[in-house]
A and B are shown apart, each in its own frame.
Chain A
């Protein structure tokens, strides 16, 4: 931007033009520093809690309350390994079970929801079957139905068929992703040209083969985005597992850690598990952060898909 204004500057002769141009140029050094300071403040704000958690995971309970390094710096003693050991000892390592459950729910729910969304999005985008418009209209409305409003009815429904307190009570409802279908349809409409599909058909490929060999590779950026969104959605889910699961061995890590916190807050004889909570929370956020950092080239563009016309 600064380059453009600089090259244009000499040409601007009129009084008004020059004053604007010189103002732009005068600011071009300023805003950059200003912008970076602004970004620095934002980064500090957004990263401090995570930094705090990182530091806290290396402390024992006493260190958390009154450590030598204060809340935002490491203590002289380093307890991370002890804390991890504590996570293995506590209730036979139930924490790792919770973490495994979270993985199971997030991956099966996320992959399942993505597969359904890809198929349905492609179907909506590339075929004009009867009832298409009506169904898609209902689906658009469903994007606006708050999913938490469905939790209690889903609980009652699942208990009628005896699925409450099983892994299916979390996985099956997680397969529902109207927004994923919407994203896929929008993307498939733009990214998969009809001519290409027709060419494949003329070459004698069936509908399924056309889908797998022609459409699927073109849909890859949207698939990664929808997969990430639905994995994160299931991984983060709290209300649904809180409502439908009561067996401690089936809980995902979010509900499990919340239970430990409630236990520790209860005080009066309740055990203080603060060091295990902070270390458990720290370990549980690592996988998703790594996933986002390593897949950034896919999701950064993909997240704006929904607003394409």
Chain B
């Protein structure tokens, strides 16, 4: 292939110079094919992303009552949302989750990936797969399983703690539910992030380490001074994934709510609040405002983070 392409392309360059008009017109006409390739996706994009967003925004500007029907209220729903203690508490909750959960997942994923990168045994290959497996388990099933494991009725906790002569804590009580949820999310996602980081580590040219070893660098120095900086764009991507996931926290607390009687209110996170407003109280206008407000918060946070890390991520 290489032998045939090289002469053709040089030949084409000549032809290109001799008859300038025709290839140019062809070239420009060909670019329209781009739209045809993009069109099917663009249709779905408009219908299921742009349209719902516009629609939600429009809905959020109205209130609907049985007596008066739809009434335009401008930004009143937003004023209400950002002074609504239930929504603000929810935001605070997911912010707290973000502060604990994202570092927890990152630390487990990064250390596991660095350890795996240094080993090439069958045990390390096996471990890599096992650590990743929870990603293949649907979040609902993961939360259900942990609900069982936490449960004092079914779970092994009392047996395990009895081995150490201790009494098992109640994982589903009001003051321990936060940690229990952090654990579920870390279990579910750390393996996925680990694989992304691991693949990035594998992409580094090992020649770089040889130079560092010559200079007398230890494994730990190589990890912190060479490997981590070189995969910073992957790390930024993983943090963005984790950030977006955390701010829209819904499934795990929603599922665990049933098991942990009374420990998780229906307005625990903004998404749960919007869900219960819409489907328990039929307040679709206010729920849209909450959804939209949450969307804006997520968007601003991710953009802000990308801006802060623009050097590391290589995005400009």
Contacts and interface: CB of A to CB of B under 8 A. Distances in A.
A166 interface: no
Contact of B130 (A17, A31, A46, A304): A46
Given A27-B219, A258-B255, A304-B234, A146 B9 contact: no
Contacts of B67: none
Contacts of A116: 40-41, 44
A132 interface: yes
Interface stretch (B26-34, B77-85, B95-103): B26-34
Contacts of B242: none
Instruction: Report the contact-size class of chain B (Cβ under 8 Å from the partner).
Output: 35 or more
A123 B38 contact: yes
30 contacts: A12-B216, A16-B216, A24-B219, A27-B219, A35-B119, A48-B149, A49-B134, A50-B134, A52-B149, A52-B156, A70-B156, A71-B156, A119-B41, A123-B36, A142-B45, A146-B244, A146-B248, A146-B298, A173-B48, A176-B48, A178-B45, A181-B41, A239-B250, A261-B144, A261-B259, A284-B141, A288-B137, A292-B132, A304-B196, A307-B196
A35 B31 contact: no
A98 B53 CA distance: 30
B263 to A, nearest CB: 13
B136 A8 contact: no
Contacts of A40: 127
Contacts of A205: none
Given A198-B12, A300-B199, A157 B216 contact: no
Interface string A64-82: 1100001110000000000
Given A42-B127, A124-B38, A285 B137 contact: yes
Given A12-B216, A307-B234, A198 B9 contact: yes
Interface in A147-202: 147-157, 172-173, 175-176, 178, 181, 195-196, 198-199, 202
Contacts of A45: 187
A127 B35 CA distance: 8
Nearest to A202: B8
8 A-B pairs with least C-beta separation: A127-B34, A123-B37, A304-B199, A129-B34, A153-B56, A120-B41, A20-B216, A153-B52
Interface string B196-207: 101110110000
B38 A52 contact: no
B218 A24 contact: yes
B119 A120 contact: no
B154 to A, nearest CB: 6
A213 interface: no
A232 B136 contact: yes
Given A124-B34, A146-B294, A261 B142 contact: no
Contacts of A32: 119
Given A20-B218, A126-B34, A307-B233, A1 B209 contact: yes
B219 A31 contact: yes
Interface stretch (B68-76, B173-181, B273-281): B273-281
A285 B136 contact: yes
Interface in A259-309: 261-262, 265, 274, 277-278, 281, 284-285, 288-289, 291-293, 296, 299-301, 303-304, 306-307, 309
A38 B37 contact: no
A238 interface: yes
Interface of A: 1, 4-5, 8, 12, 16-17, 20-21, 23-24, 27, 31-32, 35-36, 38-40, 42-43, 45-50, 52-53, 56, 64-65, 70-72, 115-117, 119-120, 122-124, 126-130, 132, 135, 139, 141-142, 144-157, 172-173, 175-176, 178, 181, 195-196, 198-199, 202, 207, 211, 232, 235-236, 238-239, 243, 253-255, 257-258, 261-262, 265, 274, 277-278, 281, 284-285, 288-289, 291-293, 296, 299-301, 303-304, 306-307, 309
A118 to B, nearest CB: 9
Contacts of A199: 4-5, 8-9
A112 to B, nearest CB: 9
B208 interface: no
User: SS class of chain A's interface: helix, strand, loop or mixed?
Assistant: helix
Q: Which of B52, B119, B137, B202 has the most CB of A within 10 A?
A: B52
Contacts, number: 322
Nearest to B27: A128
Contact of B133 (A23, A35, A173, A289): A289
B42 interface: yes
Q: Which of B33, B203, B261 has the most CB of A within 10 A?
A: B33
B156 A157 contact: no
Given A1-B118, A49-B187, A285-B136, A120 B38 contact: yes
Given A42-B131, A146-B298, A127 B33 contact: yes
Contact of A4 (B30, B116, B191, B213): B213
Contacts of A148: 248, 250, 271
Given A150-B49, A178-B45, 13 more contacts: A119-B41, A120-B40, A126-B34, A150-B56, A151-B291, A172-B47, A198-B12, A199-B5, A235-B138, A284-B141, A288-B138, A293-B129, A309-B314
A307 B149 CA distance: 36
A82 to B, nearest CB: 18
